[in-house]
A and B are shown apart, each in its own frame.
Chain A
Amino acid sequence: MTRISLTVDGVRYDDDVDPRTLLVHHLRDRLGKVGTVVGCDTSNCGACTVLLAGKSVKSCTVLATQADGSDVTTIEGLSGPNDALHPMQQAFHGCHGLQCGYCTPGMIMAAVDLLADNPEPSDDEVREGLEGNLCRCTGYQNIVRAVQQAAADMRAAAPRTSQSADAAQEVTT
């Protein structure tokens, strides 16, 4: 057993884990974070994507021990206060970017990560940026639309956010 400490969706958890435990199984089986799912065993499908220290990773291809000391964000931690949906969640809903929904948690997390890097991607950049996530229902068409919608919504909201960040800084200084 190895002692690890993770902050998952804002809550800190200290656990002894069998070193062979995959991060996704730790999240699901120990922490009850069953919103993150497993779709394959070769790191291809991306259904298990979470943010580890702010970057997207496939949690089926990370040992829980490798994540020791890190922040993890799952689909369950993406919503804001009072369950306000993240713009990416809102856009997947608005653009019908999901059908069966199994790939959706991973797809949304990968898309959030993509926009963090590239807030104004072309359609081709969205398609390439999501190459690590498989969906069998949508043909990806409405996923691409949803990511573009979220990008537009987030860009529109961004100036306010930075203003409020400035305001917050002023208060503290």
Chain B
Amino acid sequence: MIPAAFDYARPTSVDDAVGTLADGGEDAKILAGGQSLIPMLRLRLAAPTVVVDLGGVNDLRGVTDDGNHLVIGAMTTHDEIMNDPAVRSHAPLIAQATRTVADRQVRHMGTFGGSLAHADPAGDLPSVTMALDASFEIAGPSGRRSVPASEFFVDYLTTAMDPGEILVAVRVPKMSDSSGWGSHYEKLNRVAQAWALVGVAAMVQRDNGTMSDARVALTNMGPRPVRAHGVEEALRGAPATADAVGAAVAHAAENTEPADDVTASAEYRTHLASVLTGRAVRTAASI
């Protein structure tokens, strides 16, 4: 299958890109790595009039350390991120989850920002950014703004970005082993290549045998990633034991709206949410 015809622009700066996008009007579409967009174009599920390729904007690429945060450029590829020393040491959850995204070839082209802006609820990285309390740096015609992860993902394939806006970078608080944080991303899929039926991103801070803090976010338990606040509350201050985790996971599916579709029933997803939350938390807490 061949995409429908479109005009193509390859700006070289963020400002150019914002301008080009504005010129393109409503049916302009941003091309990041293209690993989600191009299959949609080929199947003609998307037919933009203009494609704005961000591949030429060098400012959008790379990981920088600004002290308390890592700033991950939106066009940094999955492959670059999972091999980046700063990401591996200060945000190991991202590195580990990214290794499970799609396959090698897709990770070579696909980008961190592209995955997040696509906001597929079955994508692994949105829940990871939720668990990390990351914030999203966005550029648009009226300047730049920052949106917390908790507000970025709005609905199925929908984010808080306006049509004329571009995701520039994601700021991730540094949370690593040295500060007592452990992390793990656990998912279950039908075959290696498939999207997660359910995924769980867990961050647990250990302090002398107790779990002093915890953040848990779920993939594919609704049209957007969700924080499992009930689990977090139950874990916070609890002893780092399997029993404590076992009790907490009962809250895993609270406030979720899992889909009931050809790949899995809502009931099964609900069950998986608690099983996988238990596994993710136990691994993150080294239990």
In the complex, what residue of chain A is closest to B108 when comparing beta carbons? Answer: A55
Q: Looking across the interface, which residue of chain A has its beta carbon closest to that of B109?
A: A57
- Please report the total number of B residues contacting A with Cβ < 8 Å: 30
Shortest A124–chain B CB gap in Å is: 11
Q: Do A42 and B43 have beta carbons less than 8 Å apart? A: yes
Contacts of B35 in A (CB 8 A): 43, 61
Chain A contact residues: over half helix, strand or loop, or mixed?
A: mixed
Q: Which residues of chain B in 8-50 are interfacial with respect to chain A, using CB atoms and an 8 Å cutoff?
A: 8, 10, 31, 34-35, 38-39, 41-43
Tell me the smallest distance from the CB of A58 to a CB of chain B, in Å. Answer: 5
Contact partner, A42, options B10, B39, B79, Cβ 8 Å: B39
In the assembled complex, A49 has its CB within 8 A of some CB on chain B: yes
Q: Are A110 and B106 in contact (CB under 8 A)?
A: no
Indicate which residue in B3, B34, B38, B103 contacts A132 across the interface (CB closer than 8 Å).
B103
Given A2-B8, A20-B5, A20-B6: A43 in contact with B104 (beta carbons within 8 A): no
Are the C-beta atoms of B105 and A41 separated by less than 8 Å?
no
Cβ-defined contact, A22 with B38, below 8 A: yes
Given contacts A57-B109, A61-B34, A65-B53, contact A110 B104 (CB under 8 A): yes
Say yes or no: is A73 at the interface (Cβ < 8 Å to chain B): no
Is A62 a contact of B5 with CB atoms below 8 Å?
A: no
Number of A-B contacts (CB under 8 A): 90
A56 with B104: in contact, given A19-B7, A25-B2, A41-B39 (CB under 8 Å)? yes
CA distance A55 to B43 in the complex (A): 26
Are A66 and B34 in contact, with the CB atoms below 8 A? Answer: yes
Interface string of A7-36 (1 = CB under 8 A from B): 000000000001110100100000000000
Tell me if A46 counts as interface (CB < 8 A to partner B). yes
User: Taking A20-B3, A55-B79 as contacts, is the C-beta distance between A43 and B38 under 8 angstroms?
Assistant: yes
Measured CB to CB, the closest approach of chain A to B183, in angstroms, equals 21
Q: Which of B10, B41, B43, B102 contacts A20 (CB 8 A)?
A: B41
Q: Do B4 and A132 have beta carbons less than 8 Å apart?
A: no
How many angstroms from the CA of A18 to the CA of B6 in the assembled complex?
9
- In whole Å, how far is B164's beta carbon from the nearest beta carbon of chain A? 21
Contact B34 A44 (CB under 8 A): no
Within the complex, the shortest CB–CB distance from A170 to chain B, in Å, comes to: 32
CA distance A49 to B109 in the complex (A): 12
A76 contacts the other chain (CB 8 A):
no
Residues in chain A near residue B10, CB distance under 8 A? 65, 68
State whether the Cβ of A95 lies closer than 8 Å to any Cβ in chain B.
Answer: no
User: What string of 1s and 0s marks CB contacts (under 8 Å) between B93-136 and chain A?
Assistant: 00000000011111011000000000000000000000000000
A42 vs B1: C-alpha distance when bound (angstroms): 10
Mark out the residues of chain B between 197 and 224 whose CB falls within 8 Å of any chain A CB in the assembled complex.
none
Q: Would B34 and A19 count as touching, CB distance under 8 A?
A: no
Asked if A153 is at the interface of the complex by the 8 Å CB criterion, the answer is no
For the complex, give the distance between the alpha carbons of A68 and B39 in Å.
20
Partner of B193, one of A22, A110, A132: A132
**Is A60 located at the chain interface by the 8 A CB criterion?**
yes
Q: How far is the CA of A44 from the CA of B43 in the complex (A)?
A: 13
Q: How far is the CA of A65 from the CA of B38 in the complex (A)?
A: 13
Q: B-contacting residues of A (Cβ < 8 Å)? A: 2, 18-20, 22, 25, 41-44, 46, 49, 52, 55-58, 60-63, 65-66, 68, 110, 113-114, 128-129, 131-133
Show 14 A/B contacts (Cβ-Cβ < 8 Å), sorted by A: A19-B5, A19-B7, A42-B43, A55-B108, A56-B104, A57-B105, A57-B109, A58-B106, A62-B38, A63-B8, A63-B31, A65-B8, A66-B53, A133-B103
Task: Knowing that A63-B51, A65-B53, A131-B103 touch, tell me 8 more A-B residue pairs with CB under 8 angstroms.
Answer: A19-B6, A46-B103, A58-B105, A62-B34, A62-B109, A66-B53, A68-B10, A113-B104
